[in-house]
Amino acid sequence: MYLEPLMKRGAEFLGSRYPIICGAMTWVSDAALVAAVGEAGGFGLLAGGNAPVEALRSEILKTRELTRKPFGVNLITVSPNYQSQLDMVCEMQCDVVVFAGSIPRAADIEQAKNSGARVLCFAPIEALALKLISQGTDGLILEGSEAGGHIGPVSLTVLLQQILFKMSNFPIFVAGGIATGRMMAHLLAMGAMGVQLGTRFVMSEECNAHPNFKEVFIRAKARDAMATPQFDSRLPVIPVRALKNVGTNDFAKLQLDLLKKLDDGEMDRTEAQYEVERFWMGALRRAVVDGDIENGSLMAGQSVGLVDKVMPLADIIDELLTDAESTLKEMRDMLGACETEDRP
């Protein structure tokens, strides 16, 4: 009763029943999970990552075989395969294209829009949000530093005040540390068009991540999901939030090794950046696919401290909706009580 009007704009933008996005997680957000999210009423994103073009094309086709619901594709602008992926996704006329990584070119945004896709871009800071709007993006995803995987430097609570509250008429979805319907309700009431969750959907039965990967999530606390450091500005590293293990130590060693190669002239900065991305793709596969929770990358947001069991995806969506509706009712009752008290 209270939730549906708040979800209407976001649902219409995405073409889904609910404006609940399952974030693109490399090796996690495959055709099976994306299709299941769509069937449950949400909106799934396939992860482009560093996937070869034909592999990503295959995932798009698999998803279309599994569901007729709309879904999107997330492209990492710093991926070696990025331009080829973008060309293919436009050729396939996907519903939504999400640009992540570094700032996409205005021409890239235009190319995606000309294919018929709606475009969303990640905005981890205020200045970038304004630039992306000027470049023609159809909407933004504000992602706070609480999120898992590649993250920006600013918390969601600050981004909401800097961007969402000032641009209430522009399509804005929010992400980072979200795992409950109560939080979703408050964000929608603030003016967000929808929410994006990642870590919560890892804990679905339909997610094909290795059981070891999910078991670590069950045991983890919010503080265990730590952001990786950058040692030198010559090697710009987008911080990655993951559960600390041997793999995070290996990443620190990799950075130091790459910096030495830069010093010795054995590698340029572009090659070094690609090596960083290749490390994460390989390390993430070891954890998600092979179940190597010691040496693999356990990418997780701080909301990992809010999830403690694996559930059917439809039940996760239902719980989010039920809790959001009851929260909005509580808010209405609270405001009604305050109004009554103020009357003479």
Tens digits of pLDDT across the chain (344 residues): 899 999 999 999 999 999 999 999 999 999 999 999 999 999 999 999 889 999 999 999 999 999 999 999 999 998 889 999 999 999 999 999 999 988 899 999 999 999 999 999 999 999 999 999 999 999 999 999 999 998 999 999 999 999 999 998 899 999 999 999 999 999 999 999 999 999 999 999 999 999 999 999 999 999 999 998 877 777 777 788 999 999 888 888 888 888 888 888 888 887 887 788 788 888 999 999 999 999 999 999 999 999 999 999 999 999 999 999 999 999 999 887 776 665 55
User: CA-to-CA distance for 314 and 332, rounded, in angstroms?
Assistant: 27
pTM of this structure:
0.93
CA distances from 102 to 75, 121, 238 (A): 10, 10, 9
Task: Tell me the three state secondary structure of residue 325.
Answer: helix
Q: With contact defined as beta carbons under 8 Å apart, do 121 and 163 qualify? A: no
Residue 207: CB partners within 8 Å, gap ≥ 6? 28, 33, 201, 214, 313
- Amino acid (1-letter code) at residue 73: V
| Closest C-alpha among 171, 245, 150, 127 to residue 10 | 171
| Residues in the chain, total | 344
Residues 6+ apart with CB under 8 A from 73: 24, 45, 46, 48, 56, 60, 89, 94, 96, 97, 98
- The structure tokens listed for 93 are 């006329």
Residue 268's pLDDT is 84
DSSP state of 268: -
Spatial distance between the Cα atoms of 119 and 91, rounded to a whole number of angstroms? 15
Please report the domains of the chain, with CATH numbers, ordered by start residue: 3-208+314-335 (3.20.20.70), 211-302 (no CATH)
Q: What does the pLDDT read at residue 341? A: 60
Q: What is the pLDDT of residue 335?
A: 85
